């Protein structure tokens, strides 16, 4: 009996790892350029953190968490998203007492018990960033610009940005009342989830994926008509900053985002090349979250993007990741003595910074050369009895098959020089 992987998970095999490295490299590179520092929080947290920080009426908390009790009976949960833990860390280490704003990013696995389908996994990787300590609208635009630059640097072009404002504790209740009055009459026709959400969090009904619910809520009152002066002004200024950066967006008053803690700006980047799971990055402002997790009243905004979906979109748009790094040298040795010398040379090559390998199966010359070819190495270093007696090797350029004999002493300087020349 063989054991397979759990549902909703996947392996990244070495032949495709370069795609992941490319994504991760660009994520870190854009974080660096936008002056975000990496934070690493635990993979599991107290369940209560997500109940409070993500919200009791969200899909995540209602049905998607991997929750377990440890041996002491404590309830722990594999992190389903990054923001709650980042804020917990910010509060726990009293970072709010330091000069603000705080700009942090994270890159790592998240866990949600969802029905697996394309673009939806139970373990998936998110790159996300948070700015804490500034309520300025240009910060909202900066976070959006980071995502936009990151997506474009991956070669992704067919996406649109949707933007909304969810108001604040002053204006949201007014919209909530208007929404409730329009939804109560159709309550019985909503899906069971929405019926139960109606009184608790009617805004979330606009986010329901059920077709019938979408129709029933098509003409509900818009949040944008209910914004208070402060939120309306904030929204207008975010839009002005985006215009200045020439970032196009579509205002979508129905977009409410899945998480309970959002206030004011909410946004989603939606890819047009893939079907149902088109949202590739999403985020928004959460001015009440830090206080609700026991910190000072510090505003925040952030985003998260799922790397699996980005890879799927890149594939759909036909953009290639850069080719994987190739081996620099493959050492071919014949005979016991030559092998021993080659083995020492191999270590020198590696210590000089070259990626190098040799045949570990003690095969014949032809088989070794074939292995050298298969390895993709740029150079084969061939060492037989004769070369050994002359203290030389045959240096073969695998691209054109040309070969020359050089002395042992010249191998490292020669190869490191060509490698450097190529890198430039």
Q: Which residues bind ligand ATP (CB under 6 A)?
A: 81, 112, 114, 119-121, 124, 126, 258, 277, 279-282, 304-306, 308-309
For ligand ATP, the closer of residues 119 and 202 by Cβ is 119
Chain centroid to CA 121 = 13
Is the Cβ of residue 125 or residue 415 nearer to ligand ATP in the bound state?
A: 125
- By beta-carbon proximity to ligand ATP, the closer residue of 95 and 304 is 304
Nearer to ligand ATP, 101 or 306 (CB): 306
Q: Distance (Å, rounded) from C-alpha 401 to C-alpha 405?
A: 13
Per DSSP bridges, beta strands 159-165 and 250-251 are parallel
The minimum distance between CB 63 and ligand ATP, in angstroms, equals 11
The rounded distance, in Å, linking the Cα atoms of 263 and 282 is 14
- Cβ at position 278, least distance to ligand ATP in Å: 8
CB-facing half-sphere around the CA of 100: CA atoms within 13 A: 19
Full DSSP string of 263-309: EEEEEEEEESSSSS--EEEEEEE-TTHHHHTTS-S--EEEEEEEHHH
Measured from the CB atom, is 148 or 308 closer to ligand ATP? 308
Question: Count of CB atoms within 10 A of residue 154's CB?
Answer: 20
Q: Could you tell me which residues come within 8 angstroms of residue 21 by beta carbon, excluding any fewer than 6 positions away?
A: none
- Pick between residue 205 and residue 281 the one whose CB is nearest to ligand ATP: 281
Burial class (CB in 10 A: 0-12, 13-18, 19+), 103: buried
CB atoms within 10 A of CB 177: 13
Beta strands in 37-158 (DSSP E): 37-38, 44-46, 67-69, 75-78, 102-111, 123-132
Shortest Å distance, C-beta 151 to ligand ATP: 11
Q: How far is the CB of 56 from ligand ATP (least distance, A)?
A: 16
CB 11 → ligand ATP: shortest distance, Å?
A: 16
247 in Cβ contact with 163 (< 8 Å): no
Tell me whether the omega of the peptide bond preceding residue 193 falls within 30 degrees of 0, making it cis.
no
Nearer to ligand ATP, 116 or 384 (CB): 116
**CB of 297 within 8 A of CB of 133?**
no
Closest CA to 121 of 257, 40, 7: 7
Min dist CB 229 to ligand ATP, Å, is 29
The residues, any chain, with a CB within 8 Å of residue 206's CB and separated by 6 or more, are: 217, 220, 254, 255, 256
For β-strands 392-397 and 403-407, DSSP reports them as antiparallel
Rank residues 165 and 279 by Cβ distance to ligand ATP and give the closer one. 279
Using Cβ positions, the residue closest to ligand ATP within the complex turns out to be 306
Residue 258 or residue 324: which is nearer to ligand ATP going by CB?
258
Query: In this complex, which beta carbon is closest to ligand ATP, that of residue 114 or of residue 337?
Result: 114
Q: Which residues does residue 304 pair with via DSSP β-bridges, in sequence order?
A: 128, 282
The minimum distance between CB 398 and ligand ATP, in angstroms, equals 40
Q: How far is the CB of 297 from ligand ATP (least distance, A)?
A: 24
């Amino acid at each position: 009996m063989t054991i397979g992987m759990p549902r909703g998970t996947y392996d990244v095999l070495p032949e495709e790892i370069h795609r992941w490295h490319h994504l991760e490299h660009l994520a870190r590179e854009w974080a660096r350029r936008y002056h975000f520092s990496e934070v690493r929080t635990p993979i599991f947290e107290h369940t209560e953190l997500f109940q409070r920080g993500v919200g009791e009426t969200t899909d995540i908390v209602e049905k998607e968490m991997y929750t377990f009790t440890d041996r002491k009976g404590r309830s722990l949960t594999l992190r389903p998203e990054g923001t709650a833990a980042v804020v917990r860390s910010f509060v726990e280490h009293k970072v709010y007492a330091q000069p603000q704003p705080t700009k942090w990013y994270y890159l790592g696995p998240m866990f949600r018990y969802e029905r697996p389908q394309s673009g939806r996994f139970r373990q998936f990787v998110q790159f996300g960033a948070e700015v804490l300590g500034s309520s300025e609208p240009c910060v909202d635009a900066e976070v959006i610009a980071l995502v936009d630059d990151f997506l474009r640097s991956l070669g992704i072009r067919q996406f649109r940005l949707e933007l909304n404002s969810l108001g604040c504790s002053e204006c949201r209740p007014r919209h909530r009342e208007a929404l409730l009055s329009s939804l109560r009459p159709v309550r019985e026709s909503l899906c069971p989830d929405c019926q139960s959400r109606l009184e608790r969090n009617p805004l979330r009904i606009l986010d329901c994926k059920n077709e019938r619910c979408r129709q029933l809520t098509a003409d509900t009152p818009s949040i944008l008509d209910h914004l208070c002066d402060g939120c309306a002004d904030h929204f207008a200024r975010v839009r002005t900053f985006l215009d200045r950066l020439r970032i196009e967006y579509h205002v979508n008053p129905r977009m409410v985002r899945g998480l309970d803690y959002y206030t004011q700006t909410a946004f989603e980047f939606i890819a047009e090349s893939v079907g149902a799971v088109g949202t590739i990055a999403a985020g928004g402002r959460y001015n009440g979250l830090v206080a609700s997790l026991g910190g000072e009243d510090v505003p925040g905004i952030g985003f998260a993007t799922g790397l699996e979906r980005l890879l799927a979109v890149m594939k759909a748009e036909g953009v290639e990741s850069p080719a994987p790094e190739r081996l620099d040298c493959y050492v071919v040795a014949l005979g016991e003595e030559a092998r021993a010398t080659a083995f020492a040379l191999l270590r020198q090559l590696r210590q000089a910074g070259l990626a190098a390998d040799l045949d570990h199966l003690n095969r014949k010359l032809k088989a070794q050369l074939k292995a050298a070819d298969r390895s993709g190495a740029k150079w084969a270093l061939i060492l037989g009895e004769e070369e050994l007696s002359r203290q030389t090797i045959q240096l073969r350029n695998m691209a054109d098959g040309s070969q020359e004999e050089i002395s042992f002493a010249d191998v490292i300087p020669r190869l490191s020089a060509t490698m450097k020349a190529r890198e430039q």
